[in-house]
A = this chain, B = another copy of it.
Amino acid sequence: MRRDHGGNIDEAARRYGGTDWIDLSTGINRRPWAVPPLPGAAWQALPTATALTHLINVAAAWFRCDPTCILPVAGASAAIQVIPRILPRGSAHVLSPSYNEHAASLRQAGWQVTETPSPDHMSGADLAVIVNPNNPDGREFTADSLVALAGRVGHLLVDESFADPRPDLSVAPALPENCLVLRSFGKFWGLAGLRLGFVIARPTLLAAIAERTGPWSVSGPALAIGAAAMADHDWADETVTYHSEACLRLDKIACRAGWTPVGGTHLFRLYDTGDALAAQEQLARSQIWSRRFPYSGNWLRLGIPGSRAEWARLSQAIAS
Contacts and interface: CB of A to CB of B under 8 A. Distances in A.
A153 interface: no
A215 B77 contact: yes
A215 B49 contact: no
A191 interface: yes
Interface string A42-60: 1111111111000000000
Nearest to A34: B40
Interface residues of A, number: 57
Contacts of A225: 43
A9 to B, nearest CB: 7
A184 to B, nearest CB: 11
B211 A193 contact: no
Given A81-B214, A214-B81, A221-B221, A11 B49 contact: yes
Contacts of A40: 32
A166 to B, nearest CB: 22
A315 interface: no
B78 A217 contact: yes
Given A49-B10, A78-B217, A219-B194, A108 B211 contact: yes
Interface in A210-246: 211-222, 225
Nearest to A29: B44
Given A44-B191, A74-B74, A105-B214, A8 B220 contact: no
Which residue among A41, A45, A81, A221 has the maximum number of chain B CB atoms within 10 Å of its CB? Answer: A45
A51 B8 CA distance: 11
24 contacts: A7-B46, A8-B48, A9-B45, A10-B48, A10-B51, A11-B49, A23-B45, A28-B44, A28-B45, A32-B44, A42-B193, A43-B193, A43-B194, A45-B193, A46-B186, A46-B192, A47-B193, A78-B213, A80-B214, A101-B214, A193-B219, A193-B220, A195-B216, A219-B219
Interface of A: 2-3, 5-11, 23, 26, 28, 30, 32, 35, 40-51, 74-75, 77-78, 80-81, 85, 101, 105, 108, 186, 190-195, 211-222, 225
